Structure 1
Amino acid sequence: MEDIIVPLPVASAGYGPLRPSATEATTPLAIRALVLQSGDVRVAIVSAELLTPPSAMRRSLAGLLQELKVTELLVTATHTHSSMGSYEPSSLFQLGGVGRFRPAASQAVIAATSSALRRAVEALTPVSVELGEGSVPDLIVSRGRDEPQADARLTRLVFRHEQRKVAELSIFSAHPTLAPHKSRTLSGDYPGRYSRTMEEEGGVVLFLQGMVGNARAALPPREGDASSRDALFATLLTHAARGIHPTPVPAEGLAYTRVQVKLPRPDASRLVPVGLHGITENALCHLGPRQAEASRLSLGSASLLFMPAEVTLPAGRLIEDAGGATRVISLTGDYIGYLDSPEHVRNQSGESQLQYFGPELLETFVRAAALTTSSLEGPRPP
């Protein structure tokens, strides 16, 4: 784990093009890294307390990854809406969520990531893997009436050296929007507080967003003042996590595959008024990504599917089924917006009003999820 040395003042990410400039941070924003190795395959997972995964991260770290012999890199974002911005050179992202690009902000993120990766490689040690899962329906709610259900699972993937916990992947699904909106104070929101509290037991704890697209954290409206809601929620989530007792994963081993997909043409019919469809779609074609990746990481019988979007529950269920996966992980590698079900897209319901592409987007990633199973090499010995 490495704290980001934020070059204050900096844009506060998360709430559209009009955002304040942050001048302080309640808690440090962190980058956490876990490196897994089996044979000549060395996979690095990075969890960044940011709104989106930095799109240029793999390219920026190419030399370091070669030096550290990291063969695959998965960069995920906690999707924290009260985190720092200005780290993203993409004009589309600058307008939509992270503010005007500043090289110093990008360099701060890359420096913290580089340090976290070095620490993770230096800490490589033989481990056993444990998996546990529970349901916390009282802590999550769907964001809209069109899709009444949200993914209430809380999953813990724990790595131990002998009896000592050295790392954990905690997977949950809820937008981190509990910290005060449009504040001049940066915060890691509940994911950052959760990870730091869970790390008191030892090891590094990476927080990963699951089917976050239509999910928000649930707290009673008057429970705590605005400045403490994220801390309260992190306490409740930590308590729930400690009630889940992971058990050993059978047939341990490591396997990884990555599938590149061509994205369909953007569809702005739900994003803007009719008169702006053409110009918006042209801008998305010009500024947005044309390709994306779906990745699968298998650890024995546990497998994770990493997606570059905010995946909703109905979309995530289809992807998990197609890939035979334990969990879908959102916001990995790049950001292509929301990924909702074709039914919601056609009806202009659910979260599809924030989706940049038409109903064929989900079909594209369902096929990709299935391909990750057919092209997956057999698990290698730990």
Structure 2
Amino acid sequence: MLHTPAGIKPAPEQQPASRWYWLLLLLLLPACVVQRIDRTPYEQTEYYEQTLQNLKSHPATVSTGDTLQVGWAKVNITPPAPAPLAGYGKRMGMDYEEVHDTAWVRTFAFDNGQTEAYYVALDMLITPMRVLQELEKRYPELGLKPEQVYLSATHTHTSFGGWGRKAGMKIMTGQYEEEIVQQLTQQIIESIRLAGQNLQPTKIGYGSADAASLVKNRLTESREDRDTELRFIRFERPDGSAAVLSIFSAHPTILPSMQPVLSRDYPGVLVDELEERMDFAAFSAGAVGSHSAVYFHNATFESTEDVGARLATILRHALHEVKTDYVYTLGYNRVPLLLPEPQWRISKNLRLAPALFNWVFGKHPAYVTSLQLGDVVLLGAPADYSGEFMDELEHTAAQENLEVIATSFNGGYIGYITPEEHYNLDEYETRSMSFFGPESGTYLTHMLQLLLSQHDKPRMAPSATDKR
């Protein structure tokens, strides 16, 4: 065995080769983990072309049949305390210790004799991706396809979690619990069954009311770049029973993040107030990306009571102005939305490698969804979709002689979707939570517009009299 004399370093060629390998790895590692932002125009990409093909090969189902029948039902979905809260990473999976107000799934059923569809609103942060997967296994037992069930959530940041498997999701939603996922899936299925058993011929009317005093654009602080409308659909039956579905674009983030209490935030107050004077009410988050609620007290239940009650007052006044009528058209669709590689940013022009994002958050399918009731079309986005895009959607709807409502959180999640001009803002929504590049808002809005264009202005039924 050869030895190097003391005090004499080995010649470079005598150093172990593994040292050079490690040095090379250290030099290459940043290039593997950190990449430049891809700013390729989306119209030039393969994912855009494939989504266009998906839209062409998945036309909306739109039928004109007998008088539309409507049913509604709600099911308690609140896990017993303690259970994880969902909504803020700073909680690190904190459990709630008490329930301030119960979480529900509220479901509408629709049937015009030709087809049927369902609208589901969850008192949760989002519609969980794992729950969507489980629901798709269960739909066949109801004789349904996934596109017949329109999913939404209130987006309260103080409802239960436990439904995210990946590390990044666990930070936001707490430790994964399979029992919560399976129980919630069963409760949604039960609500669909119950609503379907409660069908009756029902008049429908669309309305909206200005609620500018209760919403702000927290990105720009501009009074112009806001969706200020409180939109709603009113349902009336011949026996006098009535229901309402309301949609608003302000984040339900009033309550303190570190308070270990489950609550529906202001949407719960709004719904409870409405149900004091009518048979059924439901709420879904609208285009909430970049929008938050305006409240005048501290971050307490006093503020949720105030915002919810004021919205209820605005809505009650508007309900009296809305004309309802029987409709005959029912439509729906769900189209796969292909995406670019994730662009999880660490600076203005640099992102982490897509593989790292997928390891933290997982890869989940995304869809754009729609539901047509007469001349009203609801569009579902898999994101915190910004209300700044509502003008574009409403312009497209007007060209089709339709009304449009946008909701978020339809069973997928692709982050915050805001206008391209905000992309370089060093804000939470545009830096940490903008996952798919500078044009994701323009791209998603374009696809929603194309989906909307698949829905026709409704025709009258062959007979103007109710066949039922």
Confirm or deny: 8 A CA contact 1:81 1:177 kept in the other structure: yes
CA distance in 2, matches of 1:350, 1:58: 27
Aligned runs of 1:319-330 on 2, under 5 Å? 319-322=393-396, 325-330=403-408
- Aligned pairs (5 A) from 1:136-215: 136-145=211-220, 147-148=222-223, 149-162=225-238, 164-215=240-291
- Residues 256, 377 of structure 1: 8 Å contact kept: no
State the partner residue of 2:434.
355
Change (3 A) 1:320 1:127: same
Matches within 5 A, 1:247-266: 247-248=323-324, 252-266=328-342
Task: Using the TM superposition, give the Cα deviation of residue 47 of structure 1 relative to its aligned residue in structure 2, in angstroms.
Answer: 0.7
Alpha-carbon distance change, 367 to 288 in structure 1, aligned in 2, over 3 angstroms? farther
Q: Provide closer, same or farther for how the CA distance between residues 218 and 146 of structure 1 changes in structure 2, counting only shifts above 3 A.
A: closer
> Residues 192, 330 of structure 1: CA spacing in aligned structure 2 closer, same or farther, 3 A cutoff?
same
2:65 alignment counterpart: none
**C-alpha deviations, 1:142-191, integer Å up to 9, x for none?**
21336543211011201222253443210111111122322111111111
Q: Deviations over 1:260-279 (max 9, x none)?
A: 2211111123xx35898324
DSSP 3-state at the match of 1:294: strand
Asked if structure 1 preserves the Cα contact closer than 8 Å seen for 2:379 and 2:452, the reply is no
| Equivalent pair of 2:337/2:367 in contact (CA under 8 Å) | yes
Contact (CA 8 Å) 1:296, 1:304: kept in 2 or not?
yes
Whether the 8 Å CA contact 2:234–2:324 is kept in 1: the answer is no
Residue identity matched to 1:235:
A
Matches of 1:88 and 1:45, distance apart in 2: 23
Matching residue of 2:82 = 9
Query: Is 1:74 equivalent to 2:150 in the alignment?
Result: yes
1:372 aligns with 2:451: yes
Write the distance in 1 (CA, Å) between the matches of 2:116 and 2:439: 33
1:203-250 deviation per Cα after TM superposition (whole angstroms, max 9, x unaligned): 33220111211111111245xx72322122111111111111222268
- Report deviation, 1:19: 4.3
Cα distance 1:146–1:238, how it changes in 2: closer, same or farther (>3 A)?
Answer: closer
Alignment CA distance shift 1:125-1:70 (3 Å): farther
Residue pair 2:127, 2:152 contacting (<8 A) in 1 also: yes
- Match of 1:129, SS state, is strand
1:348: Cα distance to partner?
A: 5.4
* Contact 1:47/1:206 (8 A) holds in 2: yes
TM-score, normalisation: structure 1: 0.89
**Cα gap change, 1:63/1:39 in structure 2, threshold over 3 Å: closer, same or farther?**
farther
CA–CA separation in structure 1 for the residues paired with 2:455 and 2:362 = 29
Report the CA distance shift for 1:213/1:198 in structure 2 as closer, same or farther (over 3 A): same
The letter of the residue matching 2:139 is L
CA contact (8 A) 2:130 2:163 kept: no
Q: Which of 316, 332, 344 does residue 268 from structure 1 map onto?
A: 344
Structure number with greater Rg is 2
Kept in 1, the 8 Å contact 2:202–2:326? The answer is: no
The answer to whether 1:89 aligns with 2:165 is yes
User: Residues 344 and 351 of structure 2 are in contact (CA less than 8 Å); yes or no, is this contact kept in structure 1?
Assistant: yes
Of 350, 366, 385 in structure 2, the residue corresponding to residue 311 of structure 1 is 385
Deviation at residue 53 of structure 1 after TM alignment: 0.8
- Structure 1 residue 347: Cα displacement: 5.4
Inter-partner Cα distance in structure 2 for 1:193 and 1:111:
26
Verify the 8 A CA contact 2:416 2:435 in the aligned structure 1. yes
TM-score (norm 2): 0.73
2:12 match = none
2:40: which partner in 1? none
Question: What are the ranges of 5 or more consecutive residues in structure 2 without an aligned counterpart?
Answer: 1-73
Cα distance in 1 for partners of 2:449, 2:102 equals 39
Question: Secondary structure of the residue that 2:343 maps to in structure 1?
Answer: coil
- 2:64 aligned partner: none
Alpha-carbon offset, residue 57 of structure 1 = 2.8
Alignment-mate amino acid for residue 430 of structure 2: S
Contact 1:249 1:302 in 2 (8 A): no
Does residue 1:302 correspond to 2:302, yes or no?
A: no
Deviation at 1:346, TM superposition (A): 4.8
Q: Is contact 2:343-2:352 (8 Å) kept?
A: no
List gaps (5 residues or longer) in structure 1: none
109-118 vs 248-257, which deviates more? 248-257
Query: Cα deviation per residue 1:71-100 (whole Å; 9 max; x = unaligned)?
Result: 4112211110111111233444223x2111
Residue 61 of structure 1, CA deviation: 2.6
C-alpha contact (below 8 Å) 1:7/1:105 kept by paired residues: no
Q: Aligned partners of 2:198 and 2:424: how far apart in 1? A: 49
Instruction: Give the Cα–Cα distance (whole angstroms) in 2 for the partners of residues 377 and 297 of structure 1.
Output: 12
Shift of 1:361: 1.4
Alignment-mate amino acid for residue 290 of structure 2: N
The Cα of 1:251 is off from its aligned counterpart by 5.7
Quick check: 1:112 aligned with 2:191? no
